[in-house]
Structure 1
Amino acid sequence: MDNLWQCNVCGFYQEGGNTCQSCGAAKPLSKAKSPEPYRKPISPPIEKLFLTNKQDAKFLVGKDQRPASLRNTGLGCLLPFLSIFVIAGLFFLGWSVIQLKNHLELNNDGIVTQGRMIDHRIYEDSEGDSYYITYSFVANDQTYSQEQSVSSDLYNRFEAGAPLDIRYLPGNPGKSRIEGEGASPWIPLGFSMCWLSFVMLFLWGAVHQADRNDLLVKKGTLVEGQVVSASSYEDSDNGYSIKLKYSYVSPRDGQTVVRMYDFAARDHKREPLPPQGTPVIILYHSDKHHQVL
């Protein structure tokens, strides 16, 4: 952080370089005087701090009212995106309920008559073939026909014109099925409920985290800590991350607290890891709710 400087034009903080990465202005000849922070001043010079997000320097000197690492910028895009999955889940749930209702009505009130197979087809797909039979039957002096997905065993047992047992509703013959066939409606119903539960849980988690971030920004205080150890690793996508072990004295009970923080650190990839004892700043609300800046 020894080369950290602030642009006189836009206030952007960056490390090294002679032009501002934000607006392109030239680096000032002398370091701009930092404005008074709106929170309790921190004793380590900001140039000596290890910041997990370098843009948080603006927050620490009072140029920004919210740390960059706690901005809920993704929530506005996430809510419309997740709403699509919620709507799809509700639609599928409604369809599943209708299928279950028809299934139970046929089981409880349906009667069986003899019909005939009039056509058949196979839908070929990379994930497996699907088999369909079209049948007809007579009810209330009227002929009804319907196509139904069936098992391969049933499909191979019958030829066109072969008799089939058909279960239908006397009051509504349009609702019918081949006796003993038909997928269980409980499977799509269970899937749709699991789908909605997962999406709603994910949505709740995103909103809950945003609320926690807001609480930390509004009620949090700055606490000084230090690096205990640090290690880095790269994932399969060449992403660079740091595992930071840090400690601080809890404002609640005066005990030393040691925690781990694993974060994406692309801006630190070409820099040495912070040695033990390097000062850090923590935005603190409780020992279970704080953020290393």
Structure 2
Amino acid sequence: VRVEDHMSQEAARAFVEAAHFDGDMRMAVQKYLLSHNANLLVNFARERGYDFSPDEISQAVAAHWDALASPILDNTNVKPIYYWLHPANHDFFAGHRGRPILLHRGWLMWQRMALVVFVASITLGLGVEYGKSYRRYAELRDHGVVTLGRVTTQRIQNDVSAEAMTATTFYITYVFTVEDRSYSHEQAVSSSRYHALSAGQPVEILFSPSDPALTVMDGTNSTQEWYLLGSIAFGIGFIIVAGPTLLQFRRESVYGKRGKFVQGEIRVAQASSAGKDDSQGASTKLEVAFDLPQSERRIHQSINCGFTGLSKNLPPERGRVSILYVDAEHWWVL
């Protein structure tokens, strides 16, 4: 039993020593130092072939982490973190999430990515519909045949929007015959054409010989340009939204690997309402202070967290927070 205990203690020390040269192992130790969750290290280490108990790795970190060259996080001054700017970062330190949320200003990354997907879907959908519209137009333009049909019914449809605005659409249904087979089609028309026709009146029809169901009233064959205009407009919106979002996503991926975890302190936490009541939202301003790794310099800076709803759960002043630090210009409160 003593031999096994000695071997597991050596394994714990070997893991701590190796963590200074392996980025993933180093991050696992930093997570432990900030969360005081030794089981996180035990489970992570077993995947790497190390076997030790929570107490043994805790003792190894306490005894050897600061003594080794270039400590990443000062073990002697670190205390558990109980407040997280974004709750998902607690899951990150507990080992349930692959990467932290770094954006502490404005929308979260997943919200921005959802917007990118939404705008891209609208752009693609409008483009597909315009393509279908143009193919119908080209078929009737190049191969369409004119024949005589007859108006059967007319109807008017009024659609009321959420803004109480009414949109009126005029529809005419007509029938025509091709090779002893009757076809019926309903088509939206202009107000003037609608009122110029009546049930039973003959009307000239343009149809495709290869597919008589593809038909319009003669003189109304056109592409639905609003599909194209809509696709272009949403395409521009996609570029405007997706460009910065994808760049930010790339930066967060890089910074998440390059960054070092340090412990900071909330000096001041203030919420300011955007309107007369809380229903209009509130922004949160935090004053954060922390010591730079391996330096005597201390950063004391204010950050605006935007309209994130943090005002309902403000961090305690003088409360400890975890910070991912890359350099003096790039750091994030987790």
Instruction: Note whether the superposition's TM-score is higher than 0.5.
Output: yes
Match of 2:273 in 1: 234
1:101 CA drift (Å): 0.6
| 1:261 aligned partner | 304
TM-score, length of structure 1 as denominator length = 0.58
2:153 is the counterpart of 1:146? no
Structure 2: how far apart are the matches of 1:282 and 1:76?
20
Q: 1:96 aligns with which of 108, 121, 130?
A: 130
Match of 1:129 in 2: 168
- In the alignment, residue 260 of structure 1 is paired with which amino acid? I
* Distance in 2 between residues matched to 1:205 and 1:255, nearest whole Å: 30
Percent identity for Structure 1 against Structure 2: 22
Moved more, 236-245 or 170-179: 236-245
Structure 1 residues 291 and 175, CA, compared in 2 at 3 Å: closer, same or farther? same
Cα-Cα RMSD: 5.4
Q: Which residue of 2 is the match for residue 159 of structure 1? A: 198
Contact 1:100 1:186 in 2 (8 A): no
User: How far is the alpha carbon of 1:224 from its aligned partner?
Assistant: 7.4
- The alpha-carbon deviation at position 159 of structure 1 amounts to 0.8
Residue aligning to 1:120: 154
Tell me, yes or no, if the aligned pair for 1:86 and 1:200 is still in contact at 8 Å.
Answer: no
Question: How far apart are 1:165 and its partner, in Å?
Answer: 2.8
Give the TM-score of the pair, scaled to structure 2.
Answer: 0.52
Deviation at 1:167, TM superposition (A): 2.2
More strand by share: 1
User: Aligned partner of 1:106: which letter?
Assistant: L
Alpha-carbon contact 1:131-1:151 (below 8 Å) kept = yes
Q: Quick one: distance in 2 between partners of 1:188 and 1:179? A: 22
Comparing 42-51 with 257-266, greater Cα deviation is found at 42-51
Gaps of 5+ in 1: 1-5, 12-32
2:74 is aligned to 41
1:243 deviates by: 2.1
Cα deviation code 1:147-203 (max 9, x no counterpart): 111122211121112232322234443322112336742212443565577579867
Q: More helix per residue: 1 or 2?
A: 2
Q: Residue 47 and residue 10 in structure 1: after superposition, are their counterparts in 2 closer, same or farther (change >3 A)?
A: closer
Match of 2:256 among 184, 196, 217: 217
The structure-2 alpha-carbon separation of the partners of 1:166 and 1:66, relative to structure 1 and needing over 3 Å to count, comes to: closer
Matched residue SS, 2:151: strand
Letter in structure 2 aligned against 1:109: H
SS of equivalent residue, structure 1 residue 164: strand
Deviation at 1:133, TM superposition (A): 0.7
Structure 1 residue 244, shift from structure 2 partner: 3.2
Amino acid at match of 1:155: Y
Residue 257 of structure 1: CA displacement?
Answer: 9.3
1:1-293 residue pairs with structure 2 within 5 A? 39-41=72-74, 46=79, 52=85, 69-70=101-102, 90=124, 93-127=127-161, 128-139=167-178, 142-181=181-220, 184-192=223-231, 209=248, 211-222=250-261, 231-235=270-274, 236-237=278-279, 240-244=282-286, 260-263=303-306, 264=308, 265-266=310-311, 268-269=313-314, 282-286=323-327, 289-293=330-334
**Once the 2 structures are TM-superposed, how far is the Cα of residue 218 of structure 1 from its aligned partner?**
2.3
User: Secondary structure, in 3 states, of the residue corresponding to 1:123?
Assistant: strand
